[in-house]
Amino acid sequence: MNDRVSIAIDGPSGAGKSTLARRCAAAFGFLYADTGAIYRTVGLAAIRAGIDRRSGAAVEALLPDLKIEMKYNEEGEQRMLLNGEDVSDMIRMPEVSLAASDVSALPAVRTFLMEMQRSLARNHSVIMDGRDIGTVVLPDADLKVFLTASAEERARRRVSQLLDKGICEDYVKVLAEIRYRDEQDMNRETAPLKQADDAVLLDTTSLSFEESFAALSQLILERFCIRQAEKEIKTGR
Ligand code: DC
């Protein structure tokens, strides 16, 4: 894969986008960009400022003072900086998830973060995951995948991930949070979560992680092998 290519992976919270996308990026030599982390960073800034996260005016007033940077460390891991401070771990807290969902519904926030996402795709071959990558951020992506799983299965995975970290979380509460975010992300006016017309649907409800990885890798291979073959036919090589 010599030319710069972009792969958009969209889908609801907890569908396994980031784990799968990160693994595929490593396997195929792409940069992995987790765009949810950028919205989470704005969500954290709003929490810290103590403002109403749903108020367009209040959040918009905060934006000029925010310096949000996405950096990659030596291990190739994406880190988020908020005004110079590494907040990559802090933005994973449950209250930040809800704040991210709130601020991400605001058009001013989406516009503010658009260029950062697009410039990554201009400068690297990327696998970018989010909610509107295939529909808004990279409408010309070479491959678009809509990755989903039932809300119940996503909640079950989340509870089990937390258990692995020694955190015991109530399934019903996690399911309710997942449904709340789905509802909010799918029904907002600006860039709602939806499958792009030309996206491939990958439902992982009954797939293990390894099976999901194999399915996504297959899609990537098929798409880029076809592209390579077409190029070779055109150039007669
Ligand atoms: O993927 P995530 O759970 O880390 O995303 C956090 C929130 O950010 C999610 O509720 C919706 C929002 N988001 C978005 O609106 N657009 C994106 N491209 C990525 C995330």
Question: Domains of the chain by range and CATH?
Answer: 6-235 (3.40.50.300)
pLDDT reading at 228 higher than 80? no
For ligand 1, atom 13, the nearest C-alpha belongs to 36
pLDDT tens-digit series, residues 143-180: 999 999 999 999 999 999 889 989 899 999 999 999 99
Question: Distance (Å, rounded) from C-alpha 64 to C-alpha 21?
Answer: 31
pLDDT tens-digit series, residues 66-117: 999 999 998 889 999 999 999 999 999 889 999 999 999 999 999 999 999 9
- Both tokens of 73, joined, read 């460390």
Residue 72 has a pLDDT of 93
What are the beta bridge partners of residue 73? none
Question: Distance (Å, rounded) from C-alpha 163 to C-alpha 167?
Answer: 5
Ligand 1 atom nearest 133 alpha carbon: 18
Please give the backbone phi and psi of residue 55, each rounded to the nearest 5 degrees, phi first: -85, 115
DSSP state of 202: E
Tell me the CA–centroid distance for residue 130 and ligand 1, in Å.
6
Half-sphere exposure of 52 (CA within 13 A, CB side): 5
CA dist 114 → 50, 54, 137, 221, 229 (Å): 25, 19, 7, 28, 33
Residue with tokens 């990327």: 126
Listing DSSP states for 106-141 in one string gives -HHHHHHHHHHHHHHHHHS-EEEEESSIIIII-TT-
Q: Which of the four pLDDT bands, split at 50, 70 and 90, describes residue 237? A: low
Q: Which of the four pLDDT bands, split at 50, 70 and 90, describes residue 2? A: very low
Half-sphere exposure of 103 (CA within 13 A, CB side): 31
What are the beta bridge partners of residue 68? 82
Residue 143 has a pLDDT of 96
CA dist 182 → 165, 178, 228 (Å): 24, 6, 37
Dihedral sign from CA coordinates of 70, 71, 72, 77:
negative
Residue 224 has a pLDDT of 82
Pocket test for ligand 1, best of 17, 110, 131 (most atoms within 8 A of CB): 131
Tell me the CA–centroid distance for residue 98 and ligand 1, in Å.
10
- Both tokens of 64, joined, read 């000029």
Amino acid at 190: T
Question: How much of the chain, in percent, has pLDDT values that exceed 70?
Answer: 99
The rounded mean pLDDT for the chain is: 93
Ligand 1 atom nearest 17 alpha carbon: 1
Q: How many other CB atoms are there within 10 angstroms of residue 132's CB atom? A: 24
pLDDT tens-digit series, residues 118-138: 999 999 999 999 999 999 999
**Mean of the pLDDT values across residues 14-40?**
94
Residue 4 has a pLDDT of 85
- Both tokens of 108, joined, read 């001013």
Half-sphere exposure of 159 (CA within 13 A, CB side): 17
Contact 9, 196 (CB under 8 A): no
- Ligand 1 binding pocket (C-beta < 6 A) is 13, 35-36, 39-40, 97, 100-101, 104, 130-133, 181, 185
Q: How far apart are the first and last CA of the chain?
A: 16
Ligand 1 atom nearest 132 alpha carbon: 18
